[in-house]
Each structure stands twice: as C-alpha cells, then as structure tokens.
Structure 1
Amino acid sequence: MTEKPSWKVRWIARRNAVFASSRFQYWAARIPFIRSVARTRATQMFDHLVGFSYSQVLRAAVESGLLDLLAKGPVSASVVAGEIDLSEEAALRLLRATRALDLAEEAGPDGWMLGQQGAVLQADPGTQAMIRHHRLLYADLADPIDLLRRDRKEPTALSRYWSYAGALHGAAERGAETQEYSQLMAASQRFVADEVIGAFRFPGHASLLDVGGGHGEFIRRVGAAYPQMRLGLFDLPEVAEAAREPLAQSVGADRLTCHPGNFFENPIPEGYDIVSLVRILHDHDDEPAMALLRNIRGSLRPGGRLLLAEPMAAIPGAEAMGDAFFGLYLWAMGSGRPRTPDEISTMMREAGFSRTRVVPTAQPVIASCIVAHA
C-alpha cells in the first residue's frame, strides 16, 4: 500500500501547479496587489537568470581600472576608451552596463563619474580583490554538473589557488598573487570582525585567542574596539611569525602573543577566556572539523567560551549565500561545506561543550555567530 503524501508535500505540489499555470500568471499580472508580488518574483527570477552577467560587469569595472578612472571624473567615453584600450562604442557599452548597476553615473555633457555603489567599491581594495578572485570560481562553474560529478580531490582552479596561496601564506615576498591573497583574507576577516563586534560583547579585560587567524585582521579590529583585552594568534609557524611585528605595532606588543602551530597536530594554547574561530570550520569536512572542535575544547578551562563566526546554511534572509554560493564554492575548493546553526551546535556538544547559543548578527549574509560554553 502506497503511503499517502504528507500535507506539506500535497500543499507544495498544489502551489507549484498553480504558479506554473499560464492562466494564473496572466491573472496575477493584472490584479493590483498580486501584480506587485508577481513583478517582484519575476525580477528575482531574472536576476537569477542573468546574475553571471552582472558579476562580469563588476569584474570588468575592477580589472580594467574603470573605477579608478571614474574616481577622477567626469571623463568622456572617448577618454575611457583610450585609457582602458577599448573602442569608443565598446567603452560606452561598458559604461552603460556599469550605470545599470549603480557603479557609474552620467554627469550630463561633462561625462561619467562613479555611481553610489561604484564609490563604495572603488574605495575598498579588499572587495575588489574578492571580485578578481571569483574568476576562479566562475571557471570551475562553467559546467556545474561536471564539477559536481568530479571527485572532490580532483584539482580545480580554486583548489590549485588555495594550495598555492597556502604555501605562500606567510611568505616574506609580496608578488601579485600574495598581494591578492593578503587583500582577500583581510577583506573577509574585516567584514566578519565588524559583524562580530556589533553582535557580541567581549568582556573588557578578557583574553582572546584567534585560531587560524592568518595575518590577524580579526584580532586587530577586536583589539582596537577593546583596548584592555589580551590577544593571541595561533596559526602555522611561518604565518604567526609574519604576523607578529605588524600586529604588535597595531595592538601593542605587550598585549599580543603569537603562537606557532598546526591546529590539527598541536594542542591549542591554554589560558585564554575566549577562543575565536573565524571562517575556518566551514572549510573542513566533518571529521577534521570535529577534531578541531575537540582540540579547542581541550584548551578551555570551565567557563571558557568558543566564539565561531562564519556564513552558515539555512539562515533566514541569507539562504542563497549559504548554500547557493558557499555550497558550490567549497565543493569546488575540494573541502568543507556550509552548515546550519543546529548542525554546528550539535557538533560542538559532541566535542564536549556544555551548551551553545546563536548570537544574531546585523548582516547574516556576511556571517552568523555561535557561542559555545566549556
């Protein structure tokens, strides 16, 4: 005997049949209130359909130097064409495309200047580094089904980049690749740090250890907001050593300790009130992620806390960022996955933490926070 579908299955099937009906679509487009909803959904679908084109307009504006040129504006289309090596017709096409995304604005007969979004982007080299970096993801996603069918350990453009960047993580030299890497890491850590500082109140005289903190942008910003805190950074030896002097100059050598080590192989340094894990857990598959959580739990005294901050799956209002972006990004990278707050909390309790709580952030599309108590 076939089991009867649940009420939810029946409701979804009925709803989808109605929405797919051309008669319903015709009717919905002509009823005032329903028309507004239908138009919004149509716009959302169109954005899904052509989103790649939008991202490529962003890339063109950044990589061509157009934003920097417009910052000195107004400039004419002919000047733009000469400066970025395009025909005047092609330059005008690009300018109009950037205008549609509020990156550029036509200032009458005087020429073109930055739009509102363009002014924000032009002043933010970190976000520009992220836009340049995404060319690797787009290359891997050229055939998404092929990507999903491939063995995750098979090299991709993204996995090659992270393997190479990781090898140069703490390199003293700063070529184009390492400069992009540094900007990329600083931007992602800065965005998350601002969300965490706005959502979580650190005890003023507590001590904080950032595990896998790279060049230290997270503790740099937390340290500026809480000048009495003692700060620690734990990362690979070459990374910790490269971060030591710039961080000491920023937050003060007397309140900073840089600990060299591998968080999968070495014990996490003890004696800190709070351990932070910023955009780290989602980079790793479940088994190594659990090992890392257990390692952190072993370092904390009773009353100590783990503060985890990263983009998560199934967050209301940020669902697309969690699963549609990071889901495929981490698949292409060959390691990790976005997890829901419930999944992370369960893992934390299995690692030995007594209780967990979600800390709401203003922009969950950037990061969500969970605090676990030892």
Structure 2
Amino acid sequence: MIPDQWHPGSLLAVSGSYWHTCTLHTGVKLGIFTALGDNALTGSELAEKLGTDGDGTARLLNALTAMALLEKKDGYYRNTPTSRTSLSKDSDQYIGYMILHHHHLMESWNRLDEAVTTGRPIEEQLPISREDRRENFLMGMFNTASLTAPDLARAFDLSSRRHLLDLGGGPGTYAIYFCRENPQLKATVFDLPATRPFAEKTIARFDLAGRINFLPGDFTTETIPGRYDVVWLSHILHSEPPDVVISLIKKILDILEPGGILLVHDFILDDTLDGPLFPALFSLNMLVRTESGRSYSEKQITDMLMAGGFKTVTRHPFRGPTESGVMIGTR
C-alpha cells in the first residue's frame, strides 16, 4: 500500500514489504492453511504433516500469526476465519491460485531493471511444470474474476440479448455470471485448446453446460466462428500491441449482429498515463511478461475501437477495485 506521504520510514516499509509477500506465498505454497483446515495443530504436528523442518515451520507459523493470518493459543495454531475461507484449498472461495500466480511472477519482477534497460520481457526458469502454471493462472483468473463478475453481470442490461461470446474467456467466469443473471442468454467461450478442461470443469460446476459451450481456437490467428449480439472481451487488450488489437476489433465487428455490442473490460489508465496506480504498475507487469503488452488509457482504447470500425464508443460508469473499467462499442 502506498502511503499518503513519503518519508524515510515509509520508503523502507515499502522497500521491505516483500517480506510479508514471501511469507504469505510460502504459507499458501506449502499448504499451511489447507493442512490446518478446521483443526488446531502444534508446529511439530504441522511440520510432520507437511514434511518440513520443525524450526523453520515454527518460525513461519509465528510470522503468519503476527500477520493475523493464524491464531495461536497454548502452542496450537489454527486458521482465522479469513484464512480458512480464502487460503484453504478445501474452501470454494479459495484464492490461492492467484496468490501462486503472483508468486511465479516474482522472478520476472526481480529483474524489472533488466526489462526497463532492454525493453524486452524476462525469460524465466522456474522449477514448476507448464501445466501447474497454467492451472494457477487460469484458476487464479477465476478467483479474481469471481470478485467482480457478479457486480458486472448486474451492471449491464442484457435482457434483450440471446448469445454472448466470451472471447479469450479462460475458465468462463464471466460467461457463467452473465448467464446466471440472464436466464434467456446462451454463451460461447472461445479460447486456446489447453484451456478447455478448466473451462468445462468450471461451467459444469455451476450446472450451466447446457447453456455455455467451449470453442477451441486462437483469436489472434484464426477466424472466430458464429454470430453474436454481445461480445465480452475481458483483460485481453493489455496483452497485445495496438495493431493486433485493431485487427481483433475488426474480427469482432464481423461476427456481431446489427445492433450488437462489444464490452471491453480492462485496467484503464488516465489519458496522462501516470495513474491510477494499479494500471500503471500493471503496465510494468506487461513489460516484464510480454513482447508488446501494456495498459491502455480510455482515449487509446476508444481510438483502437474506432479504428477497428466501431462508430460509437462510450465508457460505462463501472469502476473495479483495481481500476478496471468497461468500454462499450456499438455496431
């Protein structure tokens, strides 16, 4: 968190805040909160259960207690209500996938100076399989999207719409919530083939397999099949350069029915590009992670949608907790 005023103490606090980050990441990565569940265990019992060093485990547990993520009484540790709900993998509100995704980003961010110097993304060498990283990313997207999707689904009147395309929709989170909010709506999730098992599992979990289907493909290189009266494009633009974005917008225009709408959801910078904070920092994340990705401003997004063929572009008043917003293009 950025302080209201900078001084030596606040500078050092921000500089050392990675201690908190690494402690949280380690707790999730080792499965501390999942192992505790609803139980109270000693440090020795947890160390034996997890196969970790006793002294190291005790230090971690005490630090997590100091961070108010665990409670300790008479040598026994237990989850707080928040950690039981959000950090135990047995909870349906588990956000650990996104936390582990953040953990996997740390190697790149630690070399931010290299990316700024070269203008190139960082090549990583992580001791984790591609499949595990894909799961953490996709289910992490589900974690975070689930925090805003209910509000977003209620923010738009789709009562007259019949078929929604969730383009690059990952596990289908937004398609799920739009369909739950609009009983007449059917949806298609279009994403890379490797995403399919995660999407179909998530869609089935919400009992919507009869209304939401998955189409495999790469929208940057392939034709998008079907016709739709609403297209949802969430957190896609920031991964691509303007020319690719405009090409994609043209493809979307071609598959929209007359009167159809494109809803673009992304982190949106001010037109001065120096705020809000999260989109500005996220643009650095795109620098270390992608060849040409970046955060875009409202004007930049408007210009790209109009260059792609949309005549009317407006911004919806919705503001997400990380300064995400929605731009609307009408055919």
TM-score by length of 2: 0.81
2:303 is matched with which residue?
346
Question: Among residues 97, 111, 122, which one is paired with 2:76 in the alignment?
Answer: 111
1:280 to partner: Cα distance: 1.0
Aligned pairs, how many? 322
1:92 is matched with which residue?
58
Q: 1:259 to 1:76 in 2, by over 3 A?
A: closer
1:168 is matched with which residue?
none
1:308 is matched with which residue?
264
1:101 & 1:204 partners in 2: Cα distance?
Answer: 48
* Contiguous gaps of at least 5 residues in structure 1: 1-35, 166-174
Q: 1:205 to 1:94 in 2, by over 3 A?
A: same
Listed one character per residue, the Cα deviations across residues 79-132 of structure 1 (whole Å, up to 9, x for unaligned) are: 2343344555433321232123321122x3262211243222223676212222
Select the structure that is richer in strand.
Answer: 2
Select the structure that is richer in helix.
Answer: 1
Alpha carbons 2:139, 2:171 under 8 Å: kept = no
Q: Show the 5 A alignment for 1:7-18.
A: none
1:251 is matched with which residue?
208
2:220 & 2:124 partners in 1: Cα distance?
Answer: 24
Residue 291 of structure 1 pairs with residue 247 of structure 2: yes
Residue 363 of structure 1 pairs with residue 320 of structure 2: yes
Alpha carbons 2:190, 2:217 under 8 Å: kept = yes
RMSD over aligned Cα atoms: 3.5
1:242 to partner: Cα distance: 8.0
Alpha carbons 2:121, 2:287 under 8 Å: kept = no
Residue 133 of structure 1 pairs with residue 101 of structure 2: yes
Question: Among residues 204, 212, 228, which one is paired with 2:184 in the alignment?
Answer: 228
Listed one character per residue, the Cα deviations across residues 233-263 of structure 1 (whole Å, up to 9, x for unaligned) are: 223456569856874783243x445444432
Q: 1:311 to 1:198 in 2, by over 3 A?
A: farther
1:203 is matched with which residue?
159
TM-score by length of 1: 0.73
Question: How much identity, in percent, do the aligned residues show?
Answer: 22
* Contiguous gaps of at least 5 residues in structure 2: none
2:218 is matched with which residue?
262
Q: Show the 5 A alignment for 1:166-181.
A: 176-181=132-137
What amino acid does structure 2 have at the position aligned with 1:112? Y
Alpha carbons 2:108, 2:123 under 8 Å: kept = no
Secondary structure, aligned partner of 1:363: coil
Secondary structure, aligned partner of 1:304: strand
Q: 1:248 to 1:83 in 2, by over 3 A?
A: closer
Alpha carbons 1:136, 1:157 under 8 Å: kept = no
Q: 1:78 to 1:195 in 2, by over 3 A?
A: same
Alpha carbons 2:263, 2:327 under 8 Å: kept = yes
Secondary structure, aligned partner of 2:57: helix
Listed one character per residue, the Cα deviations across residues 150-208 of structure 1 (whole Å, up to 9, x for unaligned) are: 352663359x99xx85xxxxxxxxx6455434423433443452342243332255321
Residue 51 of structure 1 pairs with residue 7 of structure 2: no
Secondary structure, aligned partner of 1:251: coil
Alpha carbons 2:98, 2:141 under 8 Å: kept = no
1:80 & 1:365 partners in 2: Cα distance?
Answer: 35
Secondary structure, aligned partner of 2:166: strand
Alpha carbons 1:191, 1:366 under 8 Å: kept = no
